[in-house]
Amino acid sequence: MHIISDQFTVNTNCEAILRFLSTPSNLEKILPTERIENFEADHAQCSFKIQGGIKISLVFVSRSTESVQYKSGENSPFPFELKVNTEALNELCTGRLTFFGETTPFIAMMAKGPLTALFNDMGKSLVMEFK
């Protein structure tokens, strides 16, 4: 399953966005509170439960000058990678979340809509975080 979020534009430089996203505990600030519960984080990973009972675990992998990458942790329902790609646009930063998940076609069909909405909400929340 491959998902690309809507593009977001943040009123700050990309370095600030990448630094923010490289800290797993900061992800709680951009997750939709009405659909997330039991958020926990340390310096290397975070986990939370999505409404409906699915537990997601994100492990920080890397940060470059243009992206931040996470992978699924041991409590996730299937293996996946989540990457936030950014690009400088004058004084602004644009970006997208890209998700690659190894799922069965049935799970992909059931999960694609809710995950797409989640990633789009995360992009919108990131814009609000840096207003």
- H helices within 8-104, ranges in order? 14-21
CATH code of the domain in which 86 resides: 3.30.530.20
pLDDT at 71: 98
pTM over 0.85? The answer is yes
Model confidence band, residue 114 (pLDDT cutoffs 50, 70, 90): confident
**Do strands 2-4 and 8-10 pair parallel, antiparallel, or not at all (unpaired)?**
unpaired
Looking at the structure of the chain, the number of domains it has is 1
Dist CA 37 CA 130 (whole Å): 23
Model confidence band, residue 68 (pLDDT cutoffs 50, 70, 90): very high
Give residue 42's domain range: 2-129
Among candidates 125, 120, 127, 122, which has minimal Cα distance to 9? 127
What mean pLDDT do residues 71-79 have?
91
pLDDT, tens digit (0-9, with 9 covering 90-100), for 3-56: 999 999 999 999 999 999 999 999 999 999 998 999 999 999 999 988 767 889
Gyration radius of the chain's alpha carbons? 14
Residue 130 has pLDDT above 80, yes or no: yes
